[in-house]
Amino acid sequence: MQSRKRHIAKTITWRIVATSTTFVLAMIFFRESPNATEKAGWVALIETILKMAIYYYHERIWYNVKLKVKSSVRHFFKTVTWRIIASITTFLIAYFIFKEDPGAMEKATSIAIVESILKMLFYYLHERAWHMTDFGLDKGK
């Protein structure tokens, strides 16, 4: 049985990886935008706050989904559902923050596409790493 403590810890560790990736991608795609660093920082900050809440509920929902499959298959499906939710959210945040930038729609789309590929890999590895630890598991239940 997994505890809420484990889900909170997973939320924080994933957010560090994911927000760092998004910040770097925003800097790359919007590097020519005025105040690119500041705006990429806002994207990262908003993403951190919003996605920590969304991720926590994603974890809780998957905790209650009972699938009789191997853990690696379950982690794959968690990866896909999270990536869809997260990429749409990142696109919306990046577009909103950089909306005055020429080509904002295309650049926000590019961030969402590139992060989809990178973060699916990173998320799967994150899930596998957490699968190997017993931190936050309720023992004896």
Q: Per-residue pLDDT tens for 65-95?
A: 887 888 888 888 888 898 899 889 999 999 9
Predicted pLDDT of residue 99 = 93
Helix, strand or coil, per DSSP, at residue 2: strand
Q: How far apart are CA 44 and CA 132, in angstroms?
A: 29
Q: How far apart are CA 34 and CA 40, in angstroms?
A: 11
Domain extents in the chain? 4-131
What parts of the chain have a pLDDT lower than 70? 1-2, 139-141
Residue type, 10: K
Question: Please, are residues 66 and 82 in contact by the beta-carbon 8 Å criterion?
Answer: no
Predicted pLDDT of residue 139 = 66
Q: How far apart are CA 15 and CA 98, in angstroms?
A: 22
